[in-house]
Amino acid sequence: MSDVLLTLNAGSSNLKYSLWHLPDLISIEQGKIEFKPDKDLNLDAALIQLMDHIYENYGNRSVRIIGHRLVHGGTQFYEPTLLNDNIEEQIKQLIPLAPLHLPSELAAIGFIARHYPEIKQVACFDTAFHKTQNSLYQQFALPNEYAKNGILRYGFHGLSYEYIASVAHEFIGVQHRPRLIVAHLGNGASMCAMSDLNSVTTTMGFTALDGLMMGTRCGELDAGVVLYLMQHLGLNDQQIESILYKQSGLLGVSGISSDVRELEASNDKNASIALELFAFRAAQKLAGLIPALGGLDGIVFTGGIGENSAFIREKILSHLAWLGIQLDVNANQNHFSTIHTANSLVGIYRIPTNEEKMLATHTYAFLSQ
């Protein structure tokens, strides 16, 4: 008999999972189940399918503990947390802070609690890594009463940034670690400025909508645009939410796709414009993080786009040559870990992230509790 640890990342239309052998945390399987909330295969059905799959294919193993990735911990949760009814109720109060993410994540937690009450569950929050940020960098220029009500810059992709920080000594030269900017570029995209591998500030703010241009999200937007959409074009909150989260970004600008691979392969001028805008906005945001660090020693690219698109990496860095960056074109094209030249004043690295491993590591710590 041997045991397994399961990690879950429940979205509104898919369920990502990973299985880990215990006690050595060796990855057994990773996958994703797509579903439609209003069809027969909804989240509950996807979870039933997953648990049946586990018991059918790993019959001599038992799921001992489950770790859930939760996008938002508000001001209450800064550490991985063993779940119970009281904790779940507290997390439910945070739904207005992440209305597109937390409902699905909480639904998965509730399903497991009802059907598999013997399995421990742990919540790991994507905002937790940013607890080291100075309060100055967390504040919006709004009346103070709103900050007291939790309207702050939280930052996200924390599990990814935490993983990069945990393996920095393996990949990043010691001279490039003190003042580091990590670019997590994927369908969701953000950057984190790190001082001695601790979060100082990020491009994302109150929600996962802010900052960089993304696959289908607009990123930073003049708030007046939202008012205009509402007051002059007559759009309601659901229509505006759909535009900002699902119809914008690379998809909206290109009119073709949110997938960088498809856009790079396209001859359509709008595909080129979308990629150019994505790279420029990324460079602009990266440069804007430097004052919080007082300089820059290294840059790390990670995430689906950051790891796999040599074109995007080169385009972003071309806007930052004034920093003394020298890209090794061959190393970049071949996706090496180190992609700067010997004469570059800033270290440039490509490091695959592993949010699931970070989630599994945190969850495993609760196994004996």
Q: Which tens digits make up the pLDDT trace of 293-343?
A: 999 999 999 999 999 999 999 999 999 999 999 999 999 999 999 999 999
Q: What confidence score (pLDDT) does residue 12 get?
A: 81
**124, 67 Cβ separation under 8 angstroms:** yes
How far apart are alpha carbons 253 and 121 in whole angstroms? 40
**pTM for the whole structure:** 0.95
Q: What confidence score (pLDDT) does residue 61 get?
A: 77
Residues of the chain with pLDDT under 70: 1, 38-40
| 228-248 per-position pLDDT tens digit | 999 999 999 999 999 999 999
Q: Which residue type is seen at 117? A: P
Both structure tokens of 190: 């953000």
* Whether 126 is catalytic: yes
Q: What confidence score (pLDDT) does residue 6 get?
A: 97
- Per residue, the 3-state secondary structure of 310-361, as one string, reads HHHHHHHHHCCHHHCCCECHHHHHCCCCECECCCCCCEEEECCCCHHHHHHH
How far apart are alpha carbons 10 and 100 in whole angstroms? 11
Question: Which one, of 16, 14, 20, lies nearest residue 2 by Cα?
Answer: 20
Q: What confidence score (pLDDT) does residue 40 get?
A: 66
Orientation of helix 102-115 relative to helix 43-57, angle to 10°: 50
Q: What confidence score (pLDDT) does residue 62 get?
A: 86
Q: What confidence score (pLDDT) does residue 225 get?
A: 98
What are the helix (H) ranges across 23-73?
43-57
DSSP-derived letter for residue 183 is: E
Q: Which is catalytic among the residues 126, 222, 237, 259?
A: 126
Cis peptide before 23 (omega within 30 of 0): yes
Q: What confidence score (pLDDT) does residue 36 get?
A: 77
Relative to beta strand 61-70, strand 26-34 is unpaired
Question: Which one, of 200, 74, 180, 76, lies nearest residue 133 by Cα?
Answer: 200
How far apart are alpha carbons 283 and 262 in whole angstroms? 22
Which stretches does DSSP call E strand in 166-237? Answer: 179-185, 189-195, 198-202
Both structure tokens of 26: 């060796």
What order of strands is seen across the sheet that includes strand 198-202?
Answer: 198-202, 189-195, 179-185, 298-302, 347-350
